[in-house]
Amino acid sequence: MTATPFFSVRNLHLSFADRAHKPLFGPAPRIEVLKGLDLDIGEGRITGIVGESGSGKSTLGRVLVRLLDPDSGNVMFKGQDIAGLDEEALRPLRRDLQMIFQDPMSSLNPRHKVWRIIAQPMKRYGLGGTREQATEALVRVGLPAEFGDRFPHQLSGGQRQRVGIARAIAVGPSFILADEIVSGLDVSSQAHVLMLLSKLAKEMGLTVAFISHDLSVIRHLCDDVIVLDHGVIVDNGPVEQVFDDPQSDVTRKLLAAIPLPEMDDTWFER
Amino acid sequence: MTRTVLDIMNLTVNLPNRTRILRDVSLSLEPGEVRALVGESGAGKSMIGKAVLGILPPKVRISEGEILLDNEHLGAMTPVTRRNTVARMSALIPQDPLTALNPLRKIGPQIVDPLRRIHGWSADKARARALELLDRVHIRAPERVMASYPHELSGGMRQRILIAAAFAPSPRLIVADEPTTALDVTVQKEILKLIRELQRETGTAVLFVTHDMGVVAKISQKVTVLFAGKVMEDAPTEQVFSGAAHPYTRALINATPSSADPSRSFTPVPAQLVADLHREIAQDDHLYMTVTS
């Protein structure tokens, strides 16, 4: 007997209309972004999704939390196919599928104080949304309770990203999609945010999909990794396996591009 | 005798309330050298570049110290002379290529105009040099790109165009202000490679601002490590990576991913160390306020 995987994606296709090449009459041609993906995400695991710009990694993430509709294929979430569900049917699942965005400055309402930003989704899902609950979430992500009274622009990048995490975990999801959440931060803030995410995932039993273009971040944080290239999976497995024995040139190229903090005259030639 | 391209001596930069953003910073750059300026957000690393280029934010003032560009005292010049000297001898590669380019103008004039206006080149010479440099940064069909608007190009392409524009007049000094922070790792590597190649060809000295010790190791020969506007360490890059003298430098290296010891990478800078450094600086500040008031 095998356990049902947390997410099980089969033959996933997705395309966008290419409006730049739309003829005067008739529909615009389609650009295929995801070309028949098969993948599983294990419960309680942190899975990295990596690739260059345009590889389809963010698109895949957005299909998992159903911000995007796939053209065809199955997206089984805890045994239920959510690929074709309409908004009405998705509503009960929304709380369970949370997302943290790349740029916290544009995803946090600049006119709201931090505690309201965190409380709002709780209110929406009928989970209360009191000041106390918001404070509790703030403390959970390692920010002082007084920060509830601040506005997003009064925080540093790393602190804003913690607020984004607090908002996502406050509603008690089982899945979090983190899309490039450390790419705008300096290395020390990166380290703090990564440590926090991995600690919370463990404590709360969260399943996390972590999108990044940086394999060194993935190696540090994730249990499994999926490498995408032009909408196709080119590597997939536990991190140690993929990093020690990459199956594709794309993965090898991404690995070679990491600037390690050591002197190496041959780096540019590789 | 070698002429230093840039000599910053005891530079202190203040806010109007005398809060110091840079504290007694000294560093120098030889011709053809790349010096990395490294630190966390808010350490003042970009501020040094801005002070040199004369583009400090409003109300931020140089209160003490000297900046010599090619052995000329910038502080002793009239504002106009200073602006012209800086424009003629230096260039900036900014972090965000989209905001640095005028969205309403085509790429061509944005590269060609400064060459004509500042360096007094003829239209033909400036255009030929622009095309040469675009080709040099691996832009296919440079003629077509010159006739494009910034929004028609990808982020990596825009950054390559700004590199071409910066190197076109073969300036003595380039300030590269986190030029790869917004880019993918694979694109970052291309950009670093281009900067290194062009810098070697033209003999331009580069002040390279970054927060990433990995990038420091690949691009620079010298490093200045900053914390809260104060220099923690100034050493050859090789020496920093074989055994950094300052604990803060070591902490920054440990915060960077490393292959040799994955368990030690991404270690945040220890809170105790940060507190100690802040305490030291606070004592400094107290003294400074007493002396200058």
Tell me which residue has tokens 């989704």: A121
Mean pLDDT for A81-98 is 93
CATH number attached to the domain at B6-292? 3.40.50.300
Domain ranges of chain A: 44-85+175-258, 110-173
Q: What is the pLDDT of residues B232-263, one digit of tens each?
A: 999 999 999 998 889 999 999 988 877 655 66
Q: At residue A158, what is the residue type?
A: G
Q: Is the pLDDT of residue A69 over 70?
A: yes
Please tell me which residue of chain A has the smallest CA distance to B220: A263
Mean pLDDT of chain A: 92
Cβ distance B241 to A261 less than 8 Å, yes or no, reads: yes
Mean pLDDT for B168-179 is 95
Return the SS3 of A71.
coil
Cβ distance B41 to A157 less than 8 Å, yes or no, reads: yes
Q: What is the percent of chain B with per-residue pLDDT over 70, rounded to a whole number?
A: 97
Of A194, A257, A262, the CB nearest to B266: A194
Mean pLDDT for B21-45 is 94
Alpha-carbon gap, residue A120 to A133, rounded angstroms: 11
Instruction: Tell me the two tokens of residue A239.
Output: 């991190």
Return the SS3 of A212.
strand
ipTM, interface predicted TM-score of the complex? 0.80
Non-local (6+) Cβ contacts of A47 within 8 A are: A41, A207, A208, A209, A210, A222, A223, A224, A225, A226
To test the contact with chain B by mutation, choose from A159, A243, A262 the residue with the greatest count of B C-beta atoms within 10 A, namely A262
In this predicted structure, which of A78-82, B97-101, B198-202 has the lowest mean pLDDT? Answer: B97-101
Please tell me which residue of chain B has the smallest CA distance to A52: B184
Taking alpha carbons only, the member of B214, B194, B97, B45 closest to residue A214 is B214
Q: Where are the alpha helices (DSSP H) in A37-153?
A: 57-64, 87-94, 104-107, 114-124, 131-140
Mean pLDDT for B143-148 is 95
Of A157, A186, A260, the CB nearest to B214: A260
Non-local (6+) Cβ contacts of B61 within 8 A are: B13, B14, B16
To test the contact with chain A by mutation, choose from B96, B151, B185 the residue with the greatest count of A C-beta atoms within 10 A, namely B185
- Model pLDDT, residue A1: 45
Q: Is the pLDDT of residue A189 over 70?
A: yes
Determine the distance from the C-alpha atom of residue B185 to the mean position of all C-alpha atoms in its chain, rounded to a whole number: 19
Split at pLDDT 50, 70, 90, the class of A169 is very high
Q: Is the pLDDT of residue B213 over 90?
A: yes
Alpha-carbon gap, residue A202 to A199, rounded angstroms: 5
User: Looking at domain A44-85+175-258, which of 3.40.50.300, 3.30.450.40, 3.30.360.10, 3.40.50.10300 is its CATH number?
Assistant: 3.40.50.300
Could you give the angle at the alpha carbon of A140 between the alpha carbons of A137 and A143, nearest 5°? Answer: 90
Instruction: Tell me the two tokens of residue A34.
Output: 């995801």
Cβ distance B193 to A187 less than 8 Å, yes or no, reads: no
The strand ranges marked E within chain B are 6-14, 20-29, 34-38, 61-69, 72-73, 90-93, 173-177, 205-210, 222-227, 230-236
